[in-house]
Structure 1
Amino acid sequence: MTDARLTDRRILIIAADGFEQSELEVPRDRLEAAGAEVDIASIETGEITGWDEDDWGADVEVDLKIAHANIDEYDAVVLPGGQINPDLLRVEPDAIGLIQGFAEAGKPVAAICHAPWLLVEAGLVSGRRMTSYKSIRTDVANAGAEVVDEAVVVDGNIITSRCPDDLPAFCDAIIEALAEANAPA
């Protein structure tokens, strides 16, 4: 069932092999159900393989290379976690530049679980209130964020959550941010 709150909205999900399966699929499906068009960008085209709890998960088709993504064509970016995925992406200049571009444009940047590592690499955490998976909270704090243990934290255009258990709140916050941006002034 589509609720159409996000009709005419385009969302980019940036991921690589080892993304946490639910942290890509649940936001993608919720955003599409709300009427948005969602594209998956990765380092290369083809398919990327998720991580599902304690083993490799399902493949997801990549729509475009990160290097070819145009910020002007999207209203928000979503960064799924998993341990492997953000570690691969944080050494990719195109990925970090794209995340910085979304932030500079004032568009929602949503990161869950280990994905705040990407926000650290992009220089976007200092002075912000954020959350993350418990094992990277020290990294986020050392980069200058006020780290809290909450299901979802919205600080300006940065949205963060801790883990798959927080996906309902995470998705609600993304949809709310996009619906507000879509509301008449």
Structure 2
Amino acid sequence: MSKIAVLIADMFEDVEYAEPAEGFKKAGHTLIHVGLKPGAVVRGKHNREKVLIDRSADDVHVAEFDALFIPGGYSPDGLRAHPGPVKFVKDFVESGKPVMGICHAAQLLITAQVLGGRRVTGWVSIVQDIKNAGADYVDQAVVEDGNLLFSRNPGDIPRFIEASLRKMKEAG
């Protein structure tokens, strides 16, 4: 099964992490939590979920993983202020391996400058940012473009999990 890097920081959207993580684990995938500082505990914005960071984004390489998952909330915005997570995302997108994200996750791809000419979706407040990055914004529950798979909001999670599991199987 796949080894998934979960790029995450404080103030992630609890449900956008918890439900996909549970679905991925149930399907036999391994999750490695990547953040700013190994050993740190990050919390969801509703304080329902806590996640222990396994590895620093500064010390991981795309070759170690089969897929990347980026939950939404405020986490992507916080992560994109640091060069390590931005470089990791850029390298992952350019590798052709699956990159899956929900809600505000596209903010990291915007900062990594890898959305030009791509189709993607995201939370309503970043639609103009997505367009300004040169991407085609599509208002659908799941939008796939090559190795990218994105959803808009918590209501899309069931379809996001199903599509992500299929994408990882195809890439496998």
Alignment partner, residue 13 of structure 2:
20
| Cα distance in 2 for residues equivalent to 1:58 and 1:103 | 27
Please give the TM-score of this superposition, normalised by the length of structure 2: 0.95
**CA displacement at 1:146 relative to structure 2:** 1.0
- 2:115 partner amino acid: V
Please give the TM-score of this superposition, normalised by the length of structure 1: 0.89
- 1:70 partner amino acid: H
Alignment partner of 1:77 is 2:68:
yes
Alignment partner, residue 83 of structure 2:
93
Does the residue aligned with 1:41 lie in a helix, a strand or coil? strand
Structure with a larger share of its residues in strand: 1
Equivalent residues in 2 for 1:28-39, closer than 5 Å:
28-39=21-32
| Cα distance in 2 for residues equivalent to 1:157 and 1:180 | 11
Alignment partner, residue 43 of structure 2:
49
| Deviation digits for residues 101-148 of structure 1 (CA, Å, limit 9, x no counterpart) | 111111011121011111111111111111110111011011111111
Structure 1 unaligned spans of 5+: 1-6
Query: Is 2:18–2:49's contact at 8 Å kept on the other side of the alignment?
Result: no
| Deviation digits for residues 80-121 of structure 1 (CA, Å, limit 9, x no counterpart) | 110x21111111111011011111111011121011111111
Structure (1 or 2) with the larger CA radius of gyration: 1
**CA displacement at 1:166 relative to structure 2:** 0.6
**CA displacement at 1:63 relative to structure 2:** 1.2
| Cα distance in 2 for residues equivalent to 1:65 and 1:140 | 27
Q: 1:60 aligns with which of 39, 51, 63?
A: 51
Give % identity: 37
**CA displacement at 1:58 relative to structure 2:** 2.7
| Cα distance in 2 for residues equivalent to 1:115 and 1:58 | 18
Alignment partner, residue 3 of structure 1:
none
- 1:49 partner amino acid: R
- 2:159 partner amino acid: A
| Cα distance in 2 for residues equivalent to 1:110 and 1:124 | 14
Structure with a larger share of its residues in helix: 2
| Cα distance in 2 for residues equivalent to 1:133 and 1:47 | 25
Structure 2 unaligned spans of 5+: none
| Cα distance in 2 for residues equivalent to 1:66 and 1:171 | 24
**CA displacement at 1:12 relative to structure 2:** 0.5
Which range is displaced more, 93-102 or 65-74? 65-74
